[in-house]
Amino acid sequence: MSRRSGILEFAVLGLLRESPMHGYELRKRLNTSLGIFRAFSYGTLYPCLKTLVANGWLIEEPGSAPEDALAASLAGRRAKIVYRLTAEGKEHFEELLSHTGPDAWEDEHFAARFAFFGQTEREVRMRVLEGRRSRLEERLEKMRASLVRTRERLDDYTLELQRHGMESVEREVRWLNELIESERAGRDQRRSFPGDPAAQEDTSGEADGLPRHRDAASSGGMPSGRPGPPDPSADTAT
């Protein structure tokens, strides 16, 4: 399984954990809520769904509205199929959520992982955020070294393009620093007030670790109310 198809399977399982959906609705959610999947077509989505069904992680059900099925039959069309997460699929998704290896830090996979941080345990979130920051700091160091070596050979426009790429990575590192500090502050606050009912809540809380001053409009393709990472495609240095 390719890395890209693995990310799609992860996102599909995550969205279907929220509620069952048919293919059109699922593709719409992938495109609007998770902007990294805008390039995916039905020709990519449906083979993914079939694979998940074959693995026992999803089941196919007919549409819930009888009149819709009747109308489809009279028109000679197939009734819409609704995809539902199985108990095995939920267990598999939770296992994927616990992974914190290098794949979770890469550009596209990190964006998908971040979109489901509300369902992820706090300690796992911290490891993914810190891993992502470490990866970007390494990238930034290489970009700066490359700029020093090639500065004299670049024209003004290419030089500006490389600087723009560096600034984008620097912004994401700052953003990650804020998230990590907020996660730590939330964890420390719960430890400081053990008698507080809020301290008894599930540690996977929706937004308890996120900075409060960010505007939802900055979500960058992530679910509403969550800040999104700067676009990694802006990294143009070699």
Up-side HSE of residue 203: CA atoms within 13 Å toward CB?
A: 13
List strand residue ranges (DSSP E) for the chain, in order: 21-22, 58-62, 81-85
Task: Give the model's confidence band at 13: pLDDT under 50 very low, under 70 low, under 90 confident, else very high.
Answer: very high
What phi and psi values does residue 224 have, to the nearest 5 degrees? Answer: -55, 135
Q: Are 9 and 26 in contact (CB under 8 A)?
A: no
Q: Is 115 helix (H, G, I), strand (E, B) or coil?
A: helix
pLDDT at 14: 94
Task: Give the model's confidence band at 225: pLDDT under 50 very low, under 70 low, under 90 confident, else very high.
Answer: very low
Mean pLDDT of the chain: 78
Residue 93 confidence (pLDDT) above 80: yes
| 104-156 pLDDT, tens digit each | 988 878 988 999 999 999 999 999 999 999 999 999 999 999 998 888 888 99
- pTM greater than 0.85: no
If you average pLDDT over residues 65-85, what whole number do you get? Answer: 65
Cα Rg, the chain, nearest whole Å: 21
Q: Distance between CA atoms of 41 and 35, rounded to whole angstroms?
A: 13
Up-side HSE of residue 192: CA atoms within 13 Å toward CB?
A: 6
